[in-house]
Amino acid sequence: MTALSRRAVGVTAAAAALALVAGGAVAAGSITANGGAKRLSGDQTAAVRQAIDGGRARNVILLIGDGMGDSEITIARNYAYGAAGELPGIDALPLTGEYTTWSLDKADGLPDYVTDSAASGSGWATGTKTYNGAISVDIAGEPQTTILELAKANGLRTGNVTTAEIQDATPAVLEAHVTSRSCKAPSATSAQCPDNALENGGAGSISEQILDTRADLVLGGGATYFDEAATAGDWQGETLLDQATDRGYQVVTDADELAAVTRADQSRPVLGLFADGNLETRWTGALATHAGGAEDPITCSANPARADSVPGLAEMTDKAIDLLDSRRGKGFFLQVEGASIDKQDHAANPCAQIGETVDFDEAVQAALDFAEHDGRTLVVVTADHGHSSQIVYPNTTTPGLTRTLLTADGKPMTVAYGTADEGGSQDHTGTQVRIAAYGPRAANVVGLTDQTDLFFTMRDALGLGSRGHGRH
């Protein structure tokens, strides 16, 4: 379904803006004609003008495709919709730019050209560059106030949704401040981040800080870390899961329980724990190998390990918006992460990587549908860093790993991974990545920005000013 078919075009400025990039898959054979592959329909000046809104946003929805560089977007589009098609969510946003993602070298404070998710996420969460592995602390280890904390301090509702463990880097940067992303539970924090451990006067592990930050809604995986007990404080010796219940959290563990929730606020925040670790991917298929480019092209299939009892990302996004959108409140801030685009890129698993991009795209559609009808919501879609998958000539033999897939065009597409051998973990890349937006202040993503600019764009769109920039 294309952006044009999903939205009534021409009725409002919002609809016109969302239809700015509106092509969709073209009819078979028409791409061979003059202009047959063009995406624009006439002059776009008026549509761009309508997309520019310098007003104040009531809500911000930030959607992060982890590891979703331009190559990952193109691979998913080609496979699922064809080369002349479009991803109906990601490709529908009217204003687009690129942002730089580099982090800092902790030793000398100079650029580290390839970021990890922790440093990049800390950048947009706080506006402060930091070192790889840091969770919303600066290069000296000092906590930096996050956009979620700032929004909550100003009376907005807050949410955090992911297909990874909720303690993983991208969700963690909104709700925790630790010197290493590995400090997800009390035992790991005592061993690897002792200054952050409760028994040493710190704020505790990422899991414990999530409970303390008390966003109105947190959904994802990572249940296993809540089996550990606190090492100090008011809940010493009590498991984090029991602590959550004692502190008034509504703990839900499957789609039916989530669907039954009717409120999410400071009296009854929602903690969704739908897997012990990360959520299962949507699609599965053969990994890239040294022989993958020479074999017959494959098609992807549904992942049998993905249970119907676990809510999908779009379902979680819809529910989060429904629970956070209170007309009596001041608005909300919500972050949504498609986490396993990155994780399956690491694994050289193109089918799972593509499936997670399509899954993420449906969450983007859910956010845009709400924003169009609301009229006061800034939607931002971006990635934290690039990754290693590349489209190469079909059946190419490379020094790296390849897998050839049969796309929606009925043509083979070979995807290559060249930064690790079979069984290893493919690396991030230091490229700039796409950032796109719709709604109030969306024009601030146009051109070349940095991931730290996003913090200020969101903060200013919500009218939060600089209050609380130091840790509140």
What's the whole-number mean pLDDT along residues 444-459? 98
Neighbours of 45 (CB within 10 A): 8
Q: Are 191 and 220 in contact (CB under 8 A)?
A: no
What's the whole-number mean pLDDT along residues 126-135? 98
**What is the predicted pLDDT for the residue at 393?**
93
What's the whole-number mean pLDDT along residues 53-79? 97
Active-site residue identified among 5, 71, 103, 117: 117
Residue 21 has pLDDT above 50, yes or no: no
Give 370-388 pLDDT, tens digit per residue.
999 999 999 999 999 999 9
Buried b (16+ CB within 10 A) or exposed e, 284-318: bbebbbeebbeeebbebeebeebeeebbbbbbbbb
Residue 4 has pLDDT above 50, yes or no: no
Strands 433-438 and 95-100, sheet pairing? antiparallel
What's the whole-number mean pLDDT along residues 110-135? 98
Residue 11 has pLDDT above 60, yes or no: no
Cα–Cα distance, 5 to 91 (Å, whole number): 14
Q: Are 440 and 333 in contact (CB under 8 A)?
A: no
Token couple for 432: 């700039």
What's the whole-number mean pLDDT along residues 175-190? 98
Token couple for 209: 């800080």
Residue 405 has pLDDT above 90, yes or no: yes
Cα–Cα distance, 277 to 463 (Å, whole number): 36
Rg, the chain, Cα only: 22
Token couple for 229: 């007990």
Q: Are 166 and 220 in contact (CB under 8 A)?
A: yes
Under the banding of pLDDT at 50, 70 and 90, the label for residue 396 is confident
Token couple for 347: 């694994």
**What is the predicted pLDDT for the residue at 328?**
63
- Return the H-helix or E-strand segment holding 434: strand 433-438
**What is the predicted pLDDT for the residue at 428?**
98
What's the whole-number mean pLDDT along residues 109-116? 98
Cα–Cα distance, 285 to 79 (Å, whole number): 13
Chain-wide mean pLDDT for the chain?
Answer: 92
Q: For residue 457, what are the CA distances in angstroms to 193, 228, 314, 443?
A: 32, 38, 25, 10
SS3 198: helix
**Percent of the chain residues past pLDDT 90, beyond the cut:** 87
**What is the predicted pLDDT for the residue at 26?**
45
DSSP state at residue 180 = -
Give 423-447 pLDDT, tens digit per residue.
999 999 999 999 999 999 999 999 9
What's the whole-number mean pLDDT along residues 320-335? 90
Cα–Cα distance, 6 to 366 (Å, whole number): 11
Cα–Cα distance, 415 to 354 (Å, whole number): 11
- Return the H-helix or E-strand segment holding 465: none
Under the banding of pLDDT at 50, 70 and 90, the label for residue 1 is very low
**256-260, 289-293, 314-318, 420-424: which range is least confident on average?**
289-293
**8-12, 111-115, 245-249, 300-304: which range is least confident on average?**
8-12
What's the whole-number mean pLDDT along residues 353-365? 98
Q: Which domains does the chain have, with CATH numbers?
A: 59-284+302-388+434-461 (3.40.720.10)
What's the whole-number mean pLDDT along residues 193-211? 98
User: Which residue, among 380, 387, 312, has the nearest Cα to 353 in the 3D structure?
Assistant: 387
φ/ψ (deg, to 5) at 212: -70, -40
**What is the predicted pLDDT for the residue at 16?**
46
Query: Amino acid identity of 346?
Result: H
Contacts of 257 (CB under 8 A, 6+ apart): none
Cα–Cα distance, 254 to 260 (Å, whole number): 10
Residue 205 annotated among the catalytic residues of the structure: no
**What is the predicted pLDDT for the residue at 28?**
52
**What is the predicted pLDDT for the residue at 18?**
52
